[in-house]
Amino acid sequence: MTDFSGVLEFIRGFEQSHPDASAYEITNRLRGYTKPSYTTKAWTIVTGFEQAFIEAKLDQNIPLAGELTDFGHFIAALSDQINQPGLQWSDFTRWTGDHTSWAGDIGSAIEFYRSKPGNLKSLAEALDRFASDSDHSANIAAWTVGETINRNKEIRLSEAIKQYQTKQYPDHVKTFIQRRFNGIFENQTLTNPAKIEAEIRNATFAYLELSQNAGRLKQIMKSFTQKLRSTPERDLLSADLLQGSLHFMSHLVRKGNLAPLKFRPYQQPQAPWLGSVNYEVSA
């Protein structure tokens, strides 16, 4: 089962064996076929659904909408994109589906690199590992399929995935930028990149605040709200956040077939974690 048709056939069979289950329940049950790290207590809390690991049948990279995609990652991210029934514990936190997808991937790369110095040569290497192109294509697929399901609660998961497959990935990237970030285009040029980049940085910072693994980073982040004076550690974290957001934006630009970007990031005194960037950046 290493191609789209094989995966879709497995999901359809799973739906047939659970005829009364919603797309939300089916997706969360399918987390059991991804990897153990997607079936932990933390995932139970954020999705509102407990699922034990069964086997790694869906833990594979397959072409989805013409782009190689980590399908297990897609299922996991999708499980937190579909609206949950009733009131869940995650409703009482600032946690969103962003943190279980692209913001979490960027934040995890920063966490790992800063908590385990010497294991990786650079943050760029950590980002390539924890926020790879196949991870981001999974995140964008999850957001898009999740939107389809949230708009039509009667649609089956397999049908929503099949619909996603009918378009090419660059089209999905542009739709994601427009609908998730209110991106504005003039032909193939994104005209409000600074706004989008700042939102990516904010979401990643929020993930690090919420993460149970941030460790030393949380002490640095706490200082952001206590005093505005720049320190080497704070400047380093601000630089990490900027590098992480630009890594994601570069994926969006490349895979969306967009014109290269060069812009000056937003300066927000009320959000010191965005740093003080008085130069142009590229993506």
pLDDT tens-digit readout, 142-172: 999 999 999 998 999 999 999 999 999 999 9
Q: How far apart are CA 210 and CA 208, in angstroms?
A: 5
CA angle 3, 162, 62 (to 5 degrees): 25
Q: Are the C-beta atoms of 99 and 210 separated by less than 8 Å? A: yes
CA torsion sign for 246, 250, 251, 253 is positive
Cβ burial 201-225 (10 Å sphere, 16+ → b, else e): bbbbbbbbbbbeebeebeebbebbe
Q: Are the C-beta atoms of 125 and 110 separated by less than 8 Å? A: no
pLDDT tens-digit readout, 217-273: 655 555 555 554 556 666 678 889 999 999 999 999 999 999 999 998 876 545 555
Percentage of the chain modeled with pLDDT above 90: 68
Q: Which of the four pLDDT bands, split at 50, 70 and 90, describes residue 88? A: low
Confidence (pLDDT) at 280: 87
Confidence (pLDDT) at 84: 84
Q: Which of the four pLDDT bands, split at 50, 70 and 90, describes residue 140? A: very high
Q: How far apart are CA 240 and CA 274, in angstroms?
A: 10
Q: How far apart are CA 197 and CA 283, in angstroms?
A: 10
Q: Average pLDDT for residues 190-211, to the nearest whole number?
A: 91
Confidence (pLDDT) at 40: 94
In this structure, what DSSP letter does residue 91 have? G
Confidence (pLDDT) at 209: 84
Residue 29 three-state SS: helix
Confidence (pLDDT) at 118: 75
Q: How far apart are CA 88 and CA 48, in angstroms?
A: 6
pLDDT tens-digit readout, 21-74: 999 999 999 999 999 999 999 899 889 999 999 999 999 999 999 999 999 999
Q: Which of the four pLDDT bands, split at 50, 70 and 90, describes residue 119? A: confident
Residue 57 three-state SS: coil
Contacts of 5 (CB under 8 A, 6+ apart): none
- Mean pLDDT, rounded, of the chain: 88
Q: Are the C-beta atoms of 54 and 38 separated by less than 8 Å? A: no
